Amino acid sequence: MKFNTVLPRSDGPGVLNEVLRMTSHASVRATGVTQQGEHHFQFQVELDLPGGEWHMVTSRGEVYSYRDGTVSLPPDPPFQAEFGSGMFNEIRMLYPDRLLLWGRRNESFYPMLAQEIGTHSILLTFEHVEDPAFRATMVIDRRLGVIRKTAMLGDLRILTDVQIDQPMARDTNPVLEPITDWIRADY
């Protein structure tokens, strides 16, 4: 990955390939927080790539999942779909290929800058194809091979606890510790 230099749009697929090499775990369980404007909620997400499953529970009491070819997004009825369908960005952080940021086909963003930050993280900045002043960012923790933070379209998502290569628990009532202070960066 080229650091500290503006990347052309054509580098997007190559950057994605490098990110996928870093995020080579089979499964991930993570807790975190999403802030959308002045509102926020906590979540627990799980992803099992070999098993083709994902599971998400929010502090608002929502439970979403994909298992055995069925997407469950209550209050809508379950429906049949391919793996990856219905994923929220909180889950896509664990499966970067599903983030719509790599300059592929009709994606509106592409990676334009990679920077090493702290002792173990990479900051990727993405630029909108029509408006160079419209940016998004993500932070990848190289120790775990997980995207720990995204800032896109005014929404902020931070993973506060990450466990890789753990079996899925599919917990529908996880203990989510209240967020009482600013989440300190660990780069």
Q: How confident is the model at residue 24 (pLDDT cuts 50, 70, 90)?
A: confident
Give the pLDDT score at 3: 96
For the chain, what is the mean pLDDT?
93
Which pLDDT tens digit goes with each residue over 8-22? Answer: 999 999 999 999 999
Q: What is the pLDDT of residues 115-167, one digit of tens each?
A: 999 999 999 999 999 999 999 999 999 998 899 999 998 899 999 999 999 88
Query: Which pLDDT score is estimated for 185?
Result: 85
Closest by CA to 91, choosing from 146, 152, 141, 136, is 146
Q: Is the model's pTM score more than 0.85?
A: yes
CA–CA dist 140, 116 (Å, integer): 10
Partners of residue 30 on adjacent β-strands:
45, 162
The set of residues, in sequence order, having a beta carbon less than 8 Å from that of 178 and lying 6+ positions away, is none
pLDDT of residue 182: 82
Domain boundaries, the chain: 9-164
The CATH number assigned to the domain with range 9-164 reads 2.50.20.10
